């Protein structure tokens, strides 16, 4: 139902709701969206998740990130993600241009791990590393989709994100310069932690279960990473969150809303 509300499109044949096929695969979480032809009927999106996690239902809020990828590519002139969120994120800071992100990578405050990775690249290639426009766009998309998943599913997305991704990236600053399709894990986790604080989700709701809630909050806000990893300026982050929230609210308001204390306490007692 969420995919139907968020990803429906209007083409030459009229309104078209998507068909989302969920499978257990052997690699990781990802989405295969069908090519978006305006004359097509129902679009297919295949969402895959790791086969070993087939029964780990609490990790499936990660689908919010994959739905964000599909939502980014809905060919609509009113697509806020394309018209508002992307320009907001790229208005200033390291994500504003290839020169800006290249300078950020070579910043004197970059962690030693980044400095070493750049040095190895330069030794092997004989030239200074320069970030490409293709990978810059990929980073912008990935960060938007992380924010999309968080605003769609709330703290459960952040918990699933850190549980699933942190073990995969024991080197949190690793860039993978041969093919840097995703931002380093430290950048992604710091972005989510900052957003949670910005939204006021860093305070417990149910006083009777304050210790349990605080443990979860401490877990999802874990952020011992270098300030260098704060790739998005505060004003850009606020604008991006505001526009993503508007996009979700315009589609039957499926976004996460913090429960009232009485309802949370009741659910914990069931």
User: Phi and psi dihedrals of 11, rounded to 5?
Assistant: -125, -160
> Mean pLDDT, the chain, as a whole number?
84
Look at residue 43 and tell me if it is in a domain.
no
Look at residue 2 and tell me if it is in a domain.
no
Look at residue 5 and tell me if it is in a domain.
no
Asked whether 237 and 146 are in contact (CB, 8 A), the reply is no
Domain containing residue 205: 59-260
- pLDDT exceeds cutoff 60 at 152: yes
Binned at pLDDT 50, 70 and 90, residue 138 comes out as very high
Residue 77, pLDDT score: 46
Binned at pLDDT 50, 70 and 90, residue 39 comes out as very low
Question: What percent of the chain stands above pLDDT 90?
Answer: 54
- pLDDT exceeds cutoff 80 at 226: yes
User: How far is residue 161 from each of residues 61, 63, 119, 124, measured CA to CA in Å?
Assistant: 9, 10, 30, 34
Q: What is the reported pTM?
A: 0.83
The number of domains in the chain is 1
Those residues whose C-beta lies under 8 Å from the C-beta of residue 67, and which sit 6 or more positions away, are: 2, 3, 6, 7, 31, 47, 148, 149, 152
Those residues whose C-beta lies under 8 Å from the C-beta of residue 143, and which sit 6 or more positions away, are: 89, 95, 183, 187, 188, 191, 231, 232
Look at residue 164 and tell me if it is in a domain.
yes
User: How far is residue 204 from each of residues 155, 259, 269, measured CA to CA in Å?
Assistant: 12, 11, 17
Residue 18, pLDDT score: 65
Lowest mean pLDDT among 102-106, 121-125, 193-197, 266-270: 266-270
Residue 69, pLDDT score: 85
Look at residue 127 and tell me if it is in a domain.
yes
Look at residue 181 and tell me if it is in a domain.
yes
Look at residue 99 and tell me if it is in a domain.
yes
- pLDDT exceeds cutoff 60 at 14: no
């Amino acid at each position: 139902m969420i995919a139907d509300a968020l990803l429906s499109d209007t083409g030459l044949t009229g309104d078209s709701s998507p068909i989302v096929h969920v499978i257990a695969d052997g690699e990781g979480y990802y989405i295969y969206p069908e090519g978006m032809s305006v004359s097509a009927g129902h679009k297919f999106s295949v969402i895959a998740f790791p086969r070993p996690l087939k029964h780990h239902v609490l990790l499936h809020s990660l689908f919010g990130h994959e739905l964000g990828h599909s939502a980014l590519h809905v060919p609509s002139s009113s697509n806020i993600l394309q018209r508002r969120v992307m320009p907001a994120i790229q208005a200033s800071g390291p994500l504003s241009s290839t020169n800006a992100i290249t300078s950020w990578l070579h910043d004197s405050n970059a962690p030693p791990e980044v400095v070493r990775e750049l040095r190895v690249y330069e030794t092997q290639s004989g030239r200074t590393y320069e970030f490409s426009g293709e990978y810059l766009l990929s980073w912008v998309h990935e960060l938007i989709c992380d924010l999309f998943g968080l605003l769609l599913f709330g703290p459960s997305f952040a918990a699933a994100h850190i549980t699933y991704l942190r073990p995969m990236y024991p080197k949190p600053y690793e860039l993978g310069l041969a093919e840097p399709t995703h931002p380093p894990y430290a950048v992604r986790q710091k972005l989510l932690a900052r957003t949670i604080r910005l939204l006021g989700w860093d305070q417990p709701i149910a006083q009777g279960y304050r210790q349990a809630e605080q443990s979860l909050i401490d877990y999802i806000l874990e952020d011992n990473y270098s300030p260098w990893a704060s790739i998005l300026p505060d004003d850009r982050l606020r604008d991006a969150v505001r526009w993503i929230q508007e996009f979700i609210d315009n589609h039957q308001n499926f976004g996460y809303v913090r429960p009232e204390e009485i309802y949370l306490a009741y659910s914990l007692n069931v």
